[in-house]
Structures are given as structure tokens and as C-alpha cells.
A and B are shown apart, each in its own frame.
Chain A
């Protein structure tokens, strides 16, 4: 009995993977800028590389998560409604997280690094 129970608890934690990826991506972007903009100021180029790498990694992770969830939904036997439920939920959360990641990355292309309102 304990074996299937732990497996399903892990399923519950799968739900959180997408949003966690989104959160880590945000923290990396924010942390990178906080460090780069601490005197002596680092280069804007480092920030761009950092941001691009973090974004690609995050989107890659979310795509893998989505692929795994889709495969599991297809493989799941009909009567396992709660397992299918969790995986479809995971999939949708991965989608929302991906939107969040793309949005966070958007300013990287537009706003200069370390600049603040007064110039």
C-alpha cells in the first residue's frame, strides 16, 4: 500500500514543477541584475547572456515537462481519472509558466541594464 501512495504523492509534487521553474527563472534574472548592478558595475552583455541562457533553460524544462505529461495522459488507463487529472493539470500549469517566462524575458530585449529612472 505504501508504494502506490508515495508515487501518487510525487504526482502531486509534479504539479508544482512548472511554477517552480517560472519562479527560479525570475529569481535568476532578478538576482543577476542585482549582482551585476552592484558596484563595480558589471557589463550589460553578461546580463544578456545570463538572461538568454536562463530563459532557454526554463523553456526547455517546461517543454520536457509538457512532453512527459502528454505521454503519461496517453498511456494512462481509462479508469485512472485522478492520475489523468493531475497530469492534465500539470500540462496546463506548464503552459501558464511558459507564458510567464516569456513575459519576464521580454524586457531583456528592451530595457538597458542597470539604468534607473533618473538616468
Chain B
């Protein structure tokens, strides 16, 4: 997990940056007011009779309780509304990515002449504003990448939008922020911002099918994959597996994690997830497959790990 960023106070994009600035202004404001209240309480209890007499009037309430909040809150409200305006109503062009929240993973579709489908990992070019089109397949989810900007809910039957821009290359962790039942806690994802040329090279690979299984073991794994019915739920473009219920696995091995961000992607973890998924991510929709012999499992996993 090291090297990934997931913090409101470590902004790496203009949207998050503006909000972080607002946050620091608010913290400063809060600290000053809190100090003022504590100081007045102290003076009210321990102050000299002169000070206490001055405090013990209705004027104190009028000045500190009414006038001061009206003035400070008007300023704050103005800042808040100004910033709201700055973050809404974009009309310029941006790249579009559609993300659908499902129990408990993320379907990612890159807009393009031939839309490319992926899951649980989003790659974007550095410096490029991206408009996310957000949907929900079942219950309410919420799409949130703290280091890049605010969150927006994904609501069944509605389409919501969010614009984010990454200013620097890096891995930004996101997480579902609206409780969606079961293993909601484990519904994370990574946004990987890459330099534009690298991104474009990656996208060409991503939009295409995965390389055909090349070794015997991988071919055996592929036939096991098909025979066990994995293709009913999962798609591997370029093969007969075209299921749309679970995450698209076309380029699984090019992603960083298995089981929706639960475990780092290693052959061992892929095997564990297939065999022991309900333990690793309790409640997830994929049944545990314990039907494979060790050799079969190795074959299946090497097939999956070849999907680049």
C-alpha cells in the first residue's frame, strides 16, 4: 500500500487543491473562534470584577453571539459558494470514463470509438481533466479519491458526474464512501495517473484483447477457466468468456490487485482468492471454487496471470 495517496490534506489535483486550501482556512477560523470562546469562559470565571462586569451584559451576546458570527459566516459562505461555482458547470471538453458501482467492485468503461472495459483500477493521463460518469448497478455507492477531489454518490436510476484532474503521476487510492452492505469496507480502487505517452501506449493494449495463451500450462488453464464456467460471470475479450456479472478479466495481470484491492496481485493471491474468497472478502458475490486439484489450480492461475 505504500506510495499510494489517500488524503484530503495531500492534494494532487486542482479540485482537491482548492478544497484543501479551503480546509486550512476553515481550520484556522475554527481554531481562532474556539480560542476566543475558551478565553471568554476563562475570563468569565476568573477575570477581574471589571472584566466580568463588562462581559455580563446583553451586549456581549449581541456582539460575540450575533454580530461576530454574522460577519464571519457571511465571509465563509461567500468563499464556499465561490468555490462551489469554481467546481461546477464545466463546459470544456474532457476525457470521459464511466464507472459503475456494484456490490462490491467497480466496473470501469473508457470512452472511445471501441469502449474498453476494465475493473477496479482506473488509469488517467497526468494533467488531463477527466469527467467521470457515475452509475450504480444495485445499491447506492459513492466514488471518492481523496487526493484528487471530492466524492459523488452513485445512485441507481440516476447518472452523476465528477471531474477530477491529477497534476502529478502517482497512485491515488479511492474507496466507496457510501455504506453498501457486506464488505463495503473492502470496496477500494486505485487511480493511476501516468504521463500521457505512457497512458496512450497502455490504452492501446487495454482496448485490445489479451494475448492468446502461449504455453501449454496456460492453455490448460484457459480450458479449465471455460469448463468451470468462469466465463459466465467474467469476460476475457478475444475468448468465449463474455460474462458481464463480475469484473472484466481481459487484462487482469496488468492490474495491481486481486479481489478488488483486497490483495496485491500475485499468483499466490489469485489462487487464494479463487479458493478462499469468502474468507478474504466475506460476502462477496463470487462463490469459492475448491474443485481444482493443485495442478489444475496452478494452470488456472498461470492462465490468469498471463492476461496482460
Q: Do chains A and B touch in the complex (CB under 8 A)?
A: yes
Interface of A with B (CB < 8 Å)? 99, 103, 106-107, 110-112, 115-119
Q: Which residues of B contact A118 (CB under 8 A)?
A: 90, 131-134, 152, 160-163
Closest CB in chain A relative to B22 CB, distance in Å: 15
Interface of B with A (CB < 8 Å)? 70, 73-74, 77-78, 81-82, 84-85, 87-91, 94, 131-134, 150, 152, 160-163
Does B74 contact A103, Cβ atoms closer than 8 Å?
yes
Does B88 contact A110, Cβ atoms closer than 8 Å?
no
Does B89 contact A115, Cβ atoms closer than 8 Å?
yes
Does A117 contact B81, Cβ atoms closer than 8 Å?
no
Q: Which residues of A contact B82 (CB under 8 A)?
A: 110
Cα–Cα, bound, A107→B88 (Å): 13
Interface SS majority for chain B: mixed
Q: Return the chain A residue nearest B131 by Cβ.
A: A118
Cα–Cα, bound, A112→B77 (Å): 16
Total of A-B residue pairs, C-beta within 8 Å: 51
Does A119 contact B90, Cβ atoms closer than 8 Å?
yes
Does B162 contact A111, Cβ atoms closer than 8 Å?
no
Cα–Cα, bound, A99→B70 (Å): 8
A111-B84, A117-B162, A118-B152 given; A106·B89 CB < 8 A: no
A111-B85, A112-B85, A112-B88 given; A117·B77 CB < 8 A: no
Does B131 contact A117, Cβ atoms closer than 8 Å?
no
Does B78 contact A111, Cβ atoms closer than 8 Å?
no
Q: Which residues of B contact A112 (CB under 8 A)?
A: 85, 88-89
Does A116 contact B77, Cβ atoms closer than 8 Å?
no
Q: Return the chain B residue nearest A113 by Cβ.
A: B89
List 28 A-B residue pairs with CB atoms under 8 Å apart, sorted by A's residue number.
Answer: A103-B73, A103-B77, A106-B77, A106-B78, A106-B81, A107-B81, A110-B81, A110-B84, A110-B85, A111-B84, A111-B88, A112-B85, A112-B88, A112-B89, A115-B88, A116-B160, A116-B161, A117-B87, A117-B150, A117-B161, A117-B163, A118-B90, A118-B132, A118-B133, A118-B160, A118-B161, A118-B163, A119-B131
